[in-house]
Structure 1
Amino acid sequence: MPETSAKDGYNSTFLQQVQEGSEQNLNRCYQCGNCTAGCPLSFAYDIPVNRIMRMLQAGERHAVLSSKAIWLCASCETCTTRCPNEIDVARIMDVLRHMARREGLVAEPPVRHLWDAFLKSVEKYGRVFEAGMMANFVGRTGRFWTDADLAPVAIGKGKLGFRPHSIKHQNEVQRIFARFREQQ
C-alpha cells in the first residue's frame, strides 16, 4: 500500500514507481521548461509537461494520474529531444498512462477508446485494420459523424480498406497479447 498523506496527497513511492517503470531518473529534471516550450499539444493540456514532471518529483500521484495531459500526449518525443538532461519525457508520459489506466483514472475516455480499438484490431488481425478499428471506436464512443468526411478521401487514396490485410505469423501476435494478459 502506497504511503499517502491525507493532507496533501503526497505518495512516497510514486516517484520510485515511475522511475522504475520508465527507467528514467526524474531527479535530473531541474524545471528548465524546454519540454513544455516544444510540446505541440501543450495548448490543450490542463497541466504543462514541466509541471507534470515537478508533480512527479513531489509525489502528487492522484493529481498526475488524473490529468488530461497524460492522455493528450501524442508521444511525438519533442520533449525528449529538447531535454538538456536526456530524460525520456515521452516514455514517462506513457508509463503514467498505463498507471492511470490500471487505477481507472482515465481523464480522456475517447483517447482510451481509440487505444482499445487499435489494440483489439492488432490482436485480431496482426496489424491494424483501419475500417474495423474505426467501427469499434465509433461503437464505443457513439461519435458516428466524427471525421466521417475524411472516409471518402481515404478510400479514394486506397488508405482505408474494407477487408483486413493478411500477415504471416498472425498467431504469434495473438500469443503476445495472451502472454500480456497472463501477467496481469
Structure 2
Amino acid sequence: MSPLEPSAALQERLATALPVSVAACFQCKKCSSGCPLTFAMDLLPDRVIRLALLGLEEQLLGSRTIWVCSSCETCTTRCPNGIDIAGVMDWLKEEALRRGYASQPGVARFHQTFLETVQMCGGRLSEPLLLGLYQLKSGETLKKITSGAIMAELRLGWQLARRGRLVLKLPRRLKGAGEIKEMFAKAKERE
C-alpha cells in the first residue's frame, strides 16, 4: 500500500467558491455532532472536510453523503471557524453532476427538478409541482397509470392535503425573486 499523497487542487477550487478555506478546520467534529442526517450518511460532515483537505475528490463525489445533505446549515452554524460546510456539500453536488457522478438512480434527476421548481416559483418550493415534474421526468408515469399505483399516490396526496401537510397552491413569489432569477442565470452561464 502506497502512502497517501495529499493534493491541494480541490482545496484551491473550493477556496475560490467559498468565503472561508476548508484548511481552517481543526476537526472538532461539531458539524457532525449537530447534523440531523448522519444516520443516513456514509461519510460524516467532518470526514467530508478532511477528505477535501486531502484532495480525495473521487471518494467525495461518489459518496452518498453529499446527496443526503439537506443544506439545513446546522453544521455551518456550529463551525467555530466559520467554514461553510453546507456550501461545500452543495459545491460537491454540482461538481458530481458536472462530472456524471450519482450515487443512486434518480438522484441527479431529483436534484435538477428541485432546482427547476425553485426557479419556476421565484425562490420558493412547491411540493406538488416538484412531485409532478419529477414523476413526469421519471418516465414511469404510464406504468404507474396502467398498474393503478398512481391512484394510491393521488389518494395519499389528497390525505396529506386534507391534513394541511401538502399545500396544493403555488407559493407566493419572494420579494427578491428577480435576484434569484439572476442567480440562476449566472449559474447557467458558468455551465
Residue among 63, 81, 87 paired with 1:85: 81
DSSP-derived class of the 1:67 partner: coil
Task: Tell me whether 1:130 sits opposite 2:127 in the alignment.
Answer: yes
Asked if 1 retains the 8 angstrom alpha-carbon contact of 2:11 and 2:23, the reply is no
Letter in 2 for 1:155: A
Letter in 1 for 2:52: L
Q: 122-131 vs 39-48, which deviates more?
A: 122-131
1:3 matched residue in structure 2: none
Q: 25-34 vs 137-146, which deviates more?
A: 137-146
Q: CA deviation at 1:77?
A: 1.3
Q: CA deviation at 1:51?
A: 1.0
Residue among 117, 122, 141 paired with 1:121: 117
Change in Cα spacing, 1:29 to 1:178, as seen in structure 2 (3 Å) is closer
Change in Cα spacing, 1:61 to 1:9, as seen in structure 2 (3 Å) is farther
Letter in 1 for 2:34: G
Change in Cα spacing, 1:183 to 1:91, as seen in structure 2 (3 Å) is closer
Asked if 2 retains the 8 angstrom alpha-carbon contact of 1:73 and 1:93, the reply is yes
What is the TM-score when the length of structure 2 is the normalising length? Answer: 0.74
Matches within 5 A, 1:1-184: 11-124=7-120, 126=122, 128-141=125-138, 142=140, 148=153, 150-156=156-162, 157=164, 159-161=166-168, 164=170, 177-184=184-191
Q: How many residues align?
A: 177
Give the gaps of 5 or more residues in structure 2: none
Asked if 1 retains the 8 angstrom alpha-carbon contact of 2:73 and 2:85, the reply is yes
**Which whole-Å CA distance do the structure 2 matches of 1:75 and 1:165 have between them?**
21
What is the TM-score when the length of structure 1 is the normalising length? Answer: 0.76
User: Could you report, residue by residue, the CA deviation over 1:26-82 in whole angstroms, capped at 9, with x for unpaired residues?
Assistant: 111111111111111111111111111111000111111111101110111111122
DSSP-derived class of the 1:113 partner: helix
- Structure 1 vs Structure 2: percent identity of aligned residues? 29
DSSP-derived class of the 2:106 partner: helix
Change in Cα spacing, 1:78 to 1:166, as seen in structure 2 (3 Å) is closer
Give the gaps of 5 or more residues in structure 1: 1-6
Structural RMSD (CA):
3.3
Q: 138-147 vs 80-89, which deviates more?
A: 138-147
Q: 90-99 vs 111-120, which deviates more?
A: 111-120
Q: CA deviation at 1:108?
A: 3.8
**Which whole-Å CA distance do the structure 2 matches of 1:178 and 1:85 have between them?**
31
DSSP-derived class of the 2:95 partner: helix
**Which whole-Å CA distance do the structure 2 matches of 1:85 and 1:99 have between them?**
24
Letter in 2 for 1:181: K
**Which whole-Å CA distance do the structure 2 matches of 1:176 and 1:57 have between them?**
28
